[in-house]
Amino acid sequence: MDLPVWQALYEELGPKGLDVITVAMDSGGAPDVAQWIEAAKPTHPSLIDERHVVAELYDWVNVPSNAWIDETGQLVRHNDPGFAGEYFRGMTDPGFDWKAMRAEYARMRDRYLDAIRDWVANGSRSRWVPSEDERRRRLAGGGGDHARAAAYFRLGTLLHHAGRTADAQAALAEAKRLRPESWNFARQAWHLEEAGKSGGSEFWAAVKALGERPYYPRWEL
């Protein structure tokens, strides 16, 4: 969630009209994420979305994801990974360069925050506001499979919390099958199936299997 970064940006740009809302999309709920929110002490709304309703509405497939919404309520940029990079994908390789990863993060963070500053200052004239055609293209829905995947994911989380583990895993597996590009579904399913699994072997095997394909959907920046 990078809460300290967003809190600092809110303190800087709030007086100029920027509102910030952060959302933790974690099926484990408050026990899994409350410590991070409490440590950051945000003065902006910071929510927990156990059922991934926000991801369903905004068609997000990974975290972090950001949405820019203007003062009229229109989406300016959506499904935007912000300053999330790709360098982390080599973390399990021998000799991984942690310094290089931190440098990538800092470089992308600074560039992304400058883009937001430009948008706050210039509104629709900002160079980082995509054309209406591009926004429509990126908002194109995925059809019935996407809706069914979201329904199965929600069913799986409900069954898990009801203690029906086998049924929950079957529903989550169907969500992953219907929308294999959704890292949100896969990661949260792994987490619910087995604590810590989302950071374990299945996750890294899936990342390696991407090959040259990006882990995050990317916007120009």
- In three-state secondary structure terms, 78 is strand
The 8-class DSSP code of residue 86 comes to S
Most confident of 113-117, 167-171, 187-191, 213-217: 113-117
How many residues are recorded in the chain?
221
Report the pLDDT averaged over residues 103-116: 95
pLDDT in tens, 161-180: 899 989 999 999 999 999 98
90 and 134 share a domain?
Answer: yes
CA–centroid distance for 11 within its chain: 22
DSSP string, 164-175: -HHHHHHHHHHH
Burial 166-183 (b: 16+ CB within 10 A, else e): eebbebbebbbebbeebb
In this structure, the answer to whether residues 133 and 150 fall within a common structural domain is no
- Average pLDDT on 40-54 reads 90
- Is pLDDT of 191 > 90? no
Domain boundary residue among 138, 157, 175?
A: 138
Give the structural domain span for 203: 144-208
Query: Do 124 and 55 reside in the same domain of the chain?
Result: yes
Residue 142's pLDDT is what? 66
Cis peptide bond N-terminal to 64, omega within 30:
yes
Q: Are residues 192 and 148 in the same domain?
A: yes
Q: Supply the DSSP symbol for 108.
A: H
In this prediction, residue 56 carries a pLDDT of 82
| Alpha-carbon distances of 20 from 61, 69, 97, 111, 209, rounded to whole Å | 21, 10, 33, 18, 35
Residues 117 and 102 in one domain: yes
- Give the CA diameter of the chain: 52
Q: What is the mean pLDDT of the chain?
A: 88
Q: Last residue of a domain, which of 138, 162, 183?
A: 138
- Counting the structural domains of the chain, the total is 2
- What is the predicted pLDDT for the residue at 194? 62
- Identify whether 49 is part of a domain: yes
* pTM for the predicted model, two decimal places: 0.85
The answer to whether residues 161 and 80 belong to one domain is: no
| Mean predicted confidence (pLDDT) in 100-113 | 95
**pLDDT grade for 1, boundaries at 50, 70 and 90:** low
Do 106 and 194 fall into the same domain?
A: no
Per cent of the chain over pLDDT 70 is 95
* Per-residue pLDDT at 139 exceeds 70: yes
**pLDDT tier at 53 (50, 70, 90 boundaries)?**
confident
Phi and psi, residue 65, nearest 5°:
-135, 145
Asked, for residue 33, whether it belongs to a domain, the answer is yes
Indicate whether 113 and 163 sit together in one domain. no
pLDDT at 19: 97
Tell me, yes or no, whether 59 and 128 share the same domain: yes
50-59, 70-79, 102-111: the lowest-pLDDT one: 50-59
| 163 and 84 inside one domain | no
Proportion of the chain above pLDDT 90, given as a percent: 48
pLDDT > 90? residue 2: no
Quote the pLDDT of residue 199: 52
Give domain status of residue 104, yes or no. Answer: yes
Residue 196's pLDDT is what? Answer: 44
Q: Do residues 65 and 98 both lie within one domain?
A: yes
Note whether residue 218 is domain-resident: no
Angle between helix 144-161 and helix 183-193 axes, rounded to 10 deg: 20
Domain final residue, candidates 106, 123, 138: 138
pLDDT digits (tens, 9 = 90+) for 11-37: 999 999 999 999 998 878 888 888 989
CATH number at residue 79: 3.40.30
